Amino acid sequence: MRSEERQAMSLLAHLLMQNGLAAKSVALLEGLDVVQPNQPPTLRALAVAQLRSSQPAEALQTLDRLALLGDTLPVLGLLRAQGLLAAGRKEEAQIEMAQFLARRLENET
């Protein structure tokens, strides 16, 4: 798949999500992940789409994949906290959110 095609599919997935069609965005991003697996930008977008389409377990699995790939963007902690909370894992979500906020404060100083 050419870079332009991948970018077009990513843009379409983003537009779908922004227009309340997160489940369709998930399907598109999962397809993109099959064609070009383990691309952090695709997986980040997929995790967000999964959260927005009430698929917290799947989002947490996607975030785990990103961690295994070495993706350490601070926002992933926020997404993980949201996924844990949506999955009913409140205590873990609180810990993850506290860690996210601590990392954010460290980066601001």
What one-letter code names the amino acid at 1? M
pLDDT tens-digit profile, the chain (109 residues): 688 888 899 999 999 999 999 999 999 999 999 999 999 999 999 999 999 999 999 999 999 999 999 998 889 999 999 999 999 999 999 999 999 999 888 877 6
Lookup: tokens for 87: 């999955």
Q: What is the DSSP string of 58-81?
A: HHHHHHHHHHHTT---THHHHHHH
Domains and CATH numbers, the chain: 3-108 (1.25.40.10)
pTM for this structure? 0.91
Lookup: tokens for 74: 């601070």
Distance separating alpha carbons of residues 8 and 93, to the nearest angstrom: 34
